Amino acid sequence: MMGTKVTYAEIAAKAKVSEATVSRVLNGDERVKADRAARVQKAVSDLGYTKNRIAAALASGRSGLIAIVIDDDLTLFSDPFWARVSTGVSRVLMENDLQTLLMVSPVTSIDSPVSHYLQAGEVDGAIFFQVHNEELVKKLRAQKMSVVVAGTPATGTKITYADTDNFGGAVLATRHLIEKGCKHLVTITGDIDASAGRQRLDGFKKAIAEANLTIAKNNVHFGDFTFESGRAAVAQLIKNKVKFDGIFAANDLMALGAIAELREREISVPEHVKIVGFDDSVMAQASVPPLTTIQQDIEGLGAAVAELMIAKLKGETPTPRILSTILIERETA
């Protein structure tokens, strides 16, 4: 079975072909004659051979390694979201005989160890979960390394990316509130510097306009995706005497913060105020009352990113992928 390392030499001897032929068969070269290919295949399985990818990498210049680069500054990875994206990435990559290298690094500045590592060319591609540093991405692309981003990069750049349809999801959420009879809608935005934050706000505005409603000055409250900011938003809204009967919170955590504050003031959800979140995190169904929210296909996003990477590795220039969302109706709206 296993035991001592089996190499091409043994296979070649057993199959009575050259090592070059063994290599061809193992790499799916069609030109090898069927009978010889069969002999090689048999020898391979008889000997329980598994290829030494490191040797292959050195000889071919392709490592088969794809890095997932995560900037730990934002303790991003603590967010279950990214973990699930990674799961999707890893699964698809493995299916395609590629390995996932996990790089969690405090800073992805152009001079950080991670950057140097990436620039050293030991990985075939890099997947970024944020684009703090467009410079780095550009530099890597200039070095013909394949780069794919999960999320929407700044407009104008030609970076390949996949993202959830944040805009569409926000439209869905807002329309739902309107359908449920809300007349005075407000939104609590996420971090507006992040594309997801911006897009969700845009979607909200779109749905409002579509329904011929208007957005009063104080109806957009800028939050930052935290529970506290959701809570503060409601407090502020009330302090400002804003009249509202529906809230679209750009994520579940802020929605929960909003609910907590409403509850404290004995404003009942969904009777007095309806609310829709975004993410469909575990918390959404564990909340009281269970939260109506927008669900995204998180592992699917990871898979999409991996597929884009694979396409780029083949020399193709794939177009961005936008994954649609669905509304999960629970009890808050």
Q: Token pair for residue 6?
A: 């089996």
CB of 37 to DNA, least distance (A): 7
Residue 303, binding choice from DNA, a copy of itself, none, Cβ under 5 to 8 Å by partner class:
none
Nearest to 327 by CA among 116, 226, 179, 162: 179
Query: In the complex, what is the shortest distance from the CB of residue 74 to a copy of itself, in angstroms, rounded to a whole number?
Result: 12
Q: Is 31 in the site for DNA (CB under 7 A)?
A: yes
Name the 3-class secondary structure at 205: helix
- Counts for the chain of helices (H) and strands (E), in that order: 13, 12
Cα separation, 148 vs 127, in Å, equals 5
Among 190, 189, 183, 207, residue whose Cα is nearest residue 273: 183
Site for DNA in 147-176 (CB under 7 A): none
Applying CB under 7 A, among 23, 100, 189, 325 the residue interacting with DNA is 23
Closest distance between DNA and the C-beta of residue 295, in Å? 42
Span 65-104, contacts to DNA by CB under 7 A: none
At closest approach, how far in Å is the CB of 135 from DNA? Answer: 25
Q: How far apart are CA 202 and CA 214, in angstroms?
A: 14
**1's tokens:** 């079975």
* Residue 21 binds: one of a copy of itself, DNA, none (C-beta under 5 to 8 A by kind): DNA
If the CB atoms of residues 78 and 268 are measured against a copy of itself, the closer one turns out to be 78
**Least Å distance between CB 118 and DNA?**
16
43-50 contact pairs (CB < 8 A, 24+): 43/10, 43/11, 43/14, 43/15, 44/11, 46/14, 47/6, 47/10, 47/11, 47/14, 48/1, 48/2, 48/6, 49/6, 49/11, 50/6
Hey, what are 331's tokens? Answer: 């009890």
Q: Which residue pairs from 32-41 have beta carbons closer than 8 angstroms and sit at least 24 positions apart in sequence?
A: 39/15, 40/11, 40/15
Q: Which is nearer to DNA, 55 or 326 (CB)?
A: 55
Of the pair 25, 254, the CB lying nearest a copy of itself is at 254
Residues in the chain: 333
Choose from a copy of itself, DNA, none: what does 122 bind? Cβ within 5-8 Å by kind.
a copy of itself
Q: Which does 100 bind (CB under 5 to 8 A by kind): DNA, a copy of itself, none?
A: a copy of itself
Which does residue 283 touch among DNA, a copy of itself, none (CB within 5 to 8 A, set by kind)? a copy of itself
Interface ranges with a copy of itself (CB under 8 A): 2, 5, 50-55, 57-58, 63, 68, 70, 72, 75, 77-80, 82-84, 86-87, 90-91, 94, 99-105, 113-114, 116-117, 119-122, 143, 227, 253, 256-257, 259-260, 263, 282-283, 285-286, 288
User: Is residue 1 involved in binding DNA (CB under 7 A)?
Assistant: no
For 105, other C-beta atoms within 10 Å of its C-beta total 16
236 within 8 A of 230, measured Cβ to Cβ = no
Integer CA distances (angstroms), 105 to 30, 74, 76, 159, in order? 43, 10, 11, 22
Q: Which of 126, 84, 115 is nearest to 303 (CA)?
A: 84
| Of 13, 33, 75, 265, the one binding DNA by CB under 7 A | 33
* Interaction of residue 60 with DNA, rule CB under 7 A: yes
| Residue 17, binding choice from DNA, a copy of itself, none, Cβ under 5 to 8 Å by partner class | DNA
Q: Which residues bind DNA (CB under 7 A)?
A: 5-8, 17-24, 26-27, 30-33, 36-37, 49, 51-52, 55-56, 58-62
